Amino acid sequence: MKLLSAQQCQQWDAYTMQHEPIASIDLMERAGLKCTEWLIEHKYNEMPLLIFCGKGNNGGDGLVIARLMIEAGAAVTVYILEYGSKGTDDFQRNLEKLHRLSKDIHFIQSPAVFPVIEQDNLVIDALFGTGLNRPLHDLAAALAEHINQSNAKVIAIDVPSGMPVDNFFADAPVLRAHHTLTFQSIKYAFLLPEYGSYTGDITVLDIGLMSSFLSTINATAELIEQQDAASILKQRDRFSHKGTYGHALLMAGHEGQMGAAILASKACLRSGVGKLTVLVPQEQLPVIQTAVPEAMALPRERGLPVFNGLAAVGMGPGMSFMKGTTECIETLLELYKRPIVFDADAFTYFEMQKEALPQIPVGSLLTPHPKEFDQLFGTSENSFQRHQKAIALSAEYPFIIILKGHYTLIAANGKGWFNTTGNAGMAKGGSGDVLTGILTALLAQGYEPLKAAKLGVYLHGLAGDLALEQQTMETLLPTDLIESMGSAFRNLKD
């Protein structure tokens, strides 16, 4: 699914009105009806409703909801933010309809007339929708703060007021919702951790916008969904052998950090690689050979093995940046020209040797978390800026950036893809080592780098989600992800 800009959201409405065809006021009625049906399904018609409306089309949606909820027997009070201009045509027409049903309509012209919001009220936020292009200010900002200070439950229509669709407003007021009913598709702003506490739970309501519109536009970012990952997954040939699925090399581990090497190795093997060699310090050979008997092991002190026959290389987990690591990376960059997975301690080298970034082989996968990304490419003021920088860098360099987070971003060729699997239980040391193993295995099996990135990140998060059938977010461990890889692959095949 493409992540649309605010302008494209409005164009989708216009496209649907032209091609269905449907009048704008009827499309507004459809959106309000979908919201009302959801509210009634969740028995919110049994609560006193305070519906706050702006004078744009988001406010018009709120007026439709008010009218339909009154018809359903709910107690509804409407508050319209008055800022000295006439509402849109559809807003005005719906206001006329509402006046025939209710006199409990109030215009807010100053903070002095802000209503008292009781704890048992349900607040509907229909102040500002996707068309917002600047931070809330003056009366609107004060009203948002007034609602935020209440103890009432808040449901936002399309987007919480004050939140831009495709931007980030630093230090600007945003109305905090417990639940957001958004139309047709997830909005980019919902993926930003800075806005995570403002959307609450998110429900996407299908209001019948025509899907053919999506093929007419370009978007710089998309969501990776189940059908996308499933379409990438290859079927294994029943006449295959271990050589069919590649020989991978992992450079990982150090004294006190062999757990990272073990996690990456097990994840690599659980992700379908044919053969795996792990390069570890001499004294750690017994550790890796005992913990991962399926893998071969070589001492790192001997230098890199011959690259002939190696289908993929991954490096970094628990490797520690010490004597010999620099020479190891430099030799790798000089001699190995196929895609490499770089993680963790490998970034220390590139942080110190930024001139080496252009030497990274085409199609390589870099998997930094936000702090590592900032150390490599410069500090970003917020997640939106960091995302945009990653996408821009992916057009400049031939490698793929996998910026880890709740919605991990894959940036390649000047575009971005956000993952939709995973949960907060995966926020533990070692989860990234598992991802490195998965990605290395997929490259070894011949997946194109971008497809390996999309599939690997999706499987990684899906394994975490499926592991919650046995665990909780508090108890989830990276080893549980590895044990759930079979379920994750099976889920994509079903």
What is the tens place of the pLDDT at every residue in 223-274?
Answer: 999 999 999 999 999 999 999 999 999 999 999 999 999 999 999 999 999 9
Q: Is 242 helix (H, G, I), strand (E, B) or coil?
A: helix
User: Cα(460)–Cα(481) distance, rounded to whole angstroms?
Assistant: 7
Percent of the chain with pLDDT over 90: 92
Check whether 321 has a pLDDT greater than 90. Answer: no
Q: With bands split at pLDDT 50, 70 and 90, how would you rate the model's confidence at 95?
A: very high
Q: Where are the domains of the chain?
A: 6-219, 226-493
Give the helix/strand (H/E) hosting 47.
none
Check whether 322 has a pLDDT greater than 70. Answer: no
Type of residue numbered 67? R
DSSP type of residue 94: H
Percent of the chain with pLDDT over 70: 100
The average pLDDT across 142-146 equals 98
The average pLDDT across 189-199 equals 96
pLDDT digits (tens, 9 = 90+) for 438-492: 999 999 999 999 999 999 999 999 999 999 999 999 999 999 999 999 999 999 9
Type of residue numbered 425? G
pLDDT digits (tens, 9 = 90+) for 410-437: 999 999 999 999 999 999 999 999 999 9
pLDDT digits (tens, 9 = 90+) for 333-391: 999 999 999 999 899 999 999 999 999 999 999 999 999 999 999 999 999 999 999 99
What is the C-alpha radius of gyration for the chain, rounded to an integer number of angstroms? Answer: 26
Architecture of domain 226-493: 3-Layer(aba) Sandwich (3.40)
Q: Is 278 helix (H, G, I), strand (E, B) or coil?
A: strand
User: What pLDDT was estimated at residue 451?
Assistant: 98
The burial of 61, by beta-carbon neighbours within 10 Å (0-12 exposed, 13-18 middle, 19 or more buried), is given as buried
Check whether 199 has a pLDDT greater than 90. Answer: yes
Beta carbons of 300 and 279 less than 8 angstroms apart: yes
User: What pLDDT was estimated at residue 415?
Assistant: 97
User: What pLDDT was estimated at residue 257?
Assistant: 95
Check whether 114 has a pLDDT greater than 90. Answer: yes
Q: With bands split at pLDDT 50, 70 and 90, how would you rate the model's confidence at 323?
A: low
pLDDT digits (tens, 9 = 90+) for 33-82: 999 999 999 999 999 999 999 999 999 999 999 999 999 999 999 999 99
Which residue would you say has higher pLDDT here, 83 or 100? 100
User: Cα(224)–Cα(229) distance, rounded to whole angstroms?
Assistant: 7
User: What pLDDT was estimated at residue 136?
Assistant: 96
| The domain made up of 6-219 is a member of CATH 3.40.50.10260 | yes
Check whether 108 has a pLDDT greater than 80. Answer: yes
Average pLDDT value for the chain: 96
User: Cα(96)–Cα(211) distance, rounded to whole angstroms?
Assistant: 32
- List the one residue out of 486, 485, 489, 461 whose CA is nearest residue 235: 489
Check whether 96 has a pLDDT greater than 70. Answer: yes
Phi and psi dihedrals of 249, rounded to 5? -120, 130
Which residue would you say has higher pLDDT here, 83 or 427? 427
Q: With bands split at pLDDT 50, 70 and 90, how would you rate the model's confidence at 306?
A: confident
Q: With bands split at pLDDT 50, 70 and 90, how would you rate the model's confidence at 328?
A: confident
